Amino acid sequence: MSTESTTRIREVLNAPRGQRFVRPGTPTGTNRTREQILLAQMRDNPRVAYRLEHGELPPWMYIHAARITEASRQRETETPPVPRPRPAPNDTPGVRAATANHAITSVEP
């Protein structure tokens, strides 16, 4: 082996993991993450454009949105409380007749 090829092999093996070989189709020299690449491709999407302009939402907003969703889901699945039944009318003949007479005597023309 020539000293040139040995030197090249030594450089490749000494390089950090993931940077030993050049991947075809990837731009060299840019350390953009996959997320950044995808966001750049989706720049026309209004939500992505807003995120790129204003930044990512803080984590507490996601937690709050999940709580609101869960509360609305619980309200939808809750059954309304059943009202208590009304007391039965008094069917005793004496009481009913007295009530009827009272109503008639109170309404005089």
Q: What is the pLDDT of residues 44-96, one digit of tens each?
A: 999 888 888 888 888 888 899 999 999 988 888 877 788 888 888 877 776 55
- Residue 17 clears pLDDT 70, i.e. is over it: yes
Question: What is the number of alpha carbons within 13 Å of residue 24 lying toward its C-beta?
Answer: 0
**Continuous H helices in 25-92:** 34-41, 46-54, 59-77
Q: Position of tokens 């007295």?
A: 98
Q: What is the Cα–Cα distance from 79 to 81, expressed in whole angstroms? A: 6
Q: Position of tokens 């949105």?
A: 65
0.85 exceeded by pTM: no
The whole-number pLDDT of residue 70 equals: 93
The whole-number pLDDT of residue 33 equals: 84
DSSP string, 19-41: -SSPPTTSPTT----HHHHHHHH
Percent of the chain with pLDDT over 70: 75
The whole-number pLDDT of residue 68 equals: 93
Candidate from 20-29, 43-52, 61-70, 96-105 with smallest mean pLDDT: 96-105
